Chain A
Amino acid sequence: MNENKGAIKKMMIILSKGTIENVYAAFVLANGARMEGIESEIFFTFFGLEAVHKKKLDSLRVATVGNPAMHIPTMIGGLPGMEALATTMMKKEMEKIDMPDVPEFLEILTASGVRMWACKLAFDMFHYKEEDLYEGVEKIITVGDFYKRSEGEGVHMLFI
């Protein structure tokens, strides 16, 4: 941490969840790094892969069950349609603060130079095909490959 006064040079973000709030967290952090001149990469694994699955990325939802900060009682959060309703409301609020939707955000990340990778293990487990993946994802790589990419001074890793 002492090299270059602890300056952050590169953010390696691992996105393991497919709920929209977690996907946004990863995207905002990756994009925010680029805006500061910091390199950033995202490794999509497990449910996080849905954020780069062409047919799924535009229908990600917020979790209404098991999320106390939603302030929706668990029993009600589990009712049919609640996830969709909460997601619609959240998307409206996001548009108000100039937050792009997931497809547009992916375009912004690609244009900003965020490098994106899909996890081989999760990719195989969910029986994805290469053509399922958003074009900005460069390659399907292993955990070892991702660690190799994370070598160097001032590199920070973040698990979401």
Chain B
Amino acid sequence: MERTIAGKTIAVNEEGYMTDFSQWDEKVGEALAAEANLTLTPRHWEVLKYLQTEHKNQVALSIRRVGKSGVVDIKEFYALFPNAPLKTATKVAGIPKPASCI
């Protein structure tokens, strides 16, 4: 599937997650955040960059791992990305939805 985000044609899956990270840029991230009713602050960006790095290193993401990252604790993660933080943050970051139960 394809859709237009921030004026660019972007490949996404049926849940709206980007399927080609090379198409992601900060404008796209901001547009995706706005769709999730989020305004990105420098703290959000730190978390998003961390998630992208982990994804690049092929680390399986989970709430537990994010909490242990030293970048953000679980409580703040929920505060920054209310309602389903891992799902929302990965979507905004342009990386796949983690298949994690923890």
Chain A: residues with CB nearer than 8 A to chain B?
28, 31-32, 34-37, 98-100, 104, 108, 111-113
> Known contacts A28-B101, A32-B101, A37-B83; is A98 also within 8 Å of B62 by CB?
yes
User: Closest residue of chain B to A113, judged by CB?
Assistant: B78
> Known contacts A32-B101, A112-B78; is A37 also within 8 Å of B64 by CB?
no
A100 to B67, CA, bound (A): 12
A129 to B65, CA, bound (A): 34
Cβ of A111 and Cβ of B65 under 8 Å apart?
no
Cβ of B74 and Cβ of A108 under 8 Å apart?
yes
Cβ of A35 and Cβ of B64 under 8 Å apart?
no
Size of interface on B: residues with Cβ below 8 Å to A: 19
Cβ of B86 and Cβ of A112 under 8 Å apart?
no
> Known contacts A35-B87, A36-B84, A36-B87; is A112 also within 8 Å of B74 by CB?
yes
Task: Select one of B60, B73, B86, B87 contacting A111, CB under 8 A.
Answer: B73
Chain B: residues with CB nearer than 8 A to chain A?
60, 62-65, 67, 73-75, 78, 82-87, 100-102
Show 10 A/B contacts (Cβ-Cβ < 8 Å), sorted by A. A34-B78, A35-B63, A35-B87, A98-B62, A98-B64, A100-B64, A108-B63, A108-B74, A108-B102, A112-B78
A28-B101, A37-B82 known; 17 new pairs, CB 8 Å cut-off, are A31-B63, A31-B102, A32-B101, A35-B84, A35-B85, A35-B87, A36-B84, A98-B64, A100-B102, A108-B67, A111-B67, A111-B73, A111-B74, A111-B78, A112-B74, A112-B78, A113-B78
A113 to B73, CA, bound (A): 13
Contacts of A111 in B (CB 8 A): 67, 73-75, 78
Cβ of A98 and Cβ of B83 under 8 Å apart?
no
Task: Select one of B65, B73, B84, B87 contacting A98, CB under 8 A.
Answer: B65
User: Closest residue of chain B to A111, judged by CB?
Assistant: B74
Task: Select one of A35, A100, A104 contacting B86, CB under 8 A.
Answer: A35
The distance from the CB of B81 to the nearest CB of chain A, in whole angstroms, is: 10
Contacts of B85 in A (CB 8 A): 35
Contacts of A35 in B (CB 8 A): 63, 84-87, 100
A108 to B62, CA, bound (A): 12
Cβ of A98 and Cβ of B78 under 8 Å apart?
no
User: Closest residue of chain A to B65, judged by CB?
Assistant: A98
Contacts of B101 in A (CB 8 A): 28, 32
Cβ of B84 and Cβ of A37 under 8 Å apart?
yes
A144 to B75, CA, bound (A): 30
